[in-house]
Amino acid sequence: MRLLVGDIGGTKTALGVADTDGEQVNLSEPKRYPSAAFATFDQIVQRYLNETGVTCRFAAFAVAGPVQDRRSETTNLPWALDADALELTFGFSGVDLLNDLEAVAWGVPALGTQDIAEIHPGDALSQGNACVVAAGTGLGQAGLFWDGVAHHAFATEGGHTDFAPVDELEFALLTYLKRRYGRVSWERLVSGPGIANIYEFLLERHGAAQPDWIRQAIDEGGDTAAAVAQAAADARCPVCAETMDLFMRLYGREAGNTALKHMALGGVYLGGGIALKNLALVRKGGFLEGFFDKGRMGSLMRRMPVRVILQPHTPLLGAARFMASQ
């Protein structure tokens, strides 16, 4: 089966052509586009088709947002997608939309050992449900139900559940964010914008001024999270280092919450750009401290393998496998 596949994110949108037998996927002509530079998703599809000259009868698009009745409004973009309208506009015989983290979950079985970095081995003999937790522009989560033979992917919007602080520092962080947002979800902390939120909170808490060189890096790159993470990695900014340490503990805590809810003895997979770009920091210890810190469930958590997805095209692979299954 040959089809056009896409991964529609708040920052970037990726498109490619997939050939699949339903299990293995061969991807060609991958391209990425800055999402905010386009008024609609249709414009990106048209640009891609013009640039590559490819033709496909079918298409499957992973969307950063909930999908209902073949429609989706992206969470971090002002786009509305309609599978029926896409069929009419581009002449496809069939179009499917699925949540982007559901697509990642569909893609997990197509990954090889070179596509995964192990953070915690867990119990290598255990089988069961698995889950995917991905911090990027937002916080996506999905599950993989184990039926005794194979995994079945399903979407969730778990990243939008309420943030729960556990100590005085986190209660102060919650109070700070409530002034800004009202309701505070985990996505307000465990995401790229979440890194910026934590950094700004710590600056205020310490009464510290933002260094000019950090402000310049943010102005030039337009990405506070990237600038803070790089400054922390270079050991140039104590507040940045504290930001990333707290972020990783919170990421580990929420990944552990998700793993408990899914009883993910089959593995916890970390997707999204933040874990991939900060792999050394994920391995450092704060993430796993947060992940294991589940009181009486601590021994259960240690049985769960934790892995980082290194393959950036996993949502495209998953979208292809999903479409083939339909």
Q: How far apart are CA 186 and CA 98, in angstroms?
A: 22
Report the largest interatomic distance among the alpha carbons of the chain, rounded to a whole angstrom: 59
Among candidate residues 80, 247, 109, the one with its CA nearest the CA of residue 169: 247
Spatial CA neighbour of 251 closest among 276, 286, 219, 283:
286
**CATH (one of 3.30.70.120, 1.10.274.10, 3.40.1110.10, 3.30.420.40) for 2-106+313-325:** 3.30.420.40
Q: Which pLDDT score, from 0 to 100, does residue 76 have? A: 78
Task: Let me know: does 257 contact 298? Beta carbons within 8 Å.
Answer: no
| Annotated binding-site positions | 6-11
Position 106 confidence tier, pLDDT thresholds 50, 70, 90? very high
Distance separating alpha carbons of residues 114 and 313, to the nearest angstrom = 13
Predicted local distance difference test score (pLDDT) of residue 22: 77
Q: What is the pLDDT of residues 29-66, one digit of tens each?
A: 999 999 999 999 999 999 999 999 999 999 999 998 89
Q: Which residues are annotated as a binding site for ATP?
A: 6-11
How many percent of the chain have pLDDT more than 90? 89
Question: For residue 223, what are the CA distances in angstroms to 91, 276, 279?
Answer: 38, 16, 19
- CA–CA distance, 225 with 152 (Å, rounded to integer): 33
Name the DSSP letter for residue 209: P
Q: What is the pTM of this model?
A: 0.93
CATH architecture, range 113-310: 3-Layer(aba) Sandwich (3.40)
According to DSSP, the residues that pair with 152 across neighbouring strands are: 145
DSSP 64: S
Q: Give the mean model confidence (pLDDT) for residues 188-196.
A: 97
The domain segmentation of the chain, as residue ranges, is 2-106+313-325, 113-310
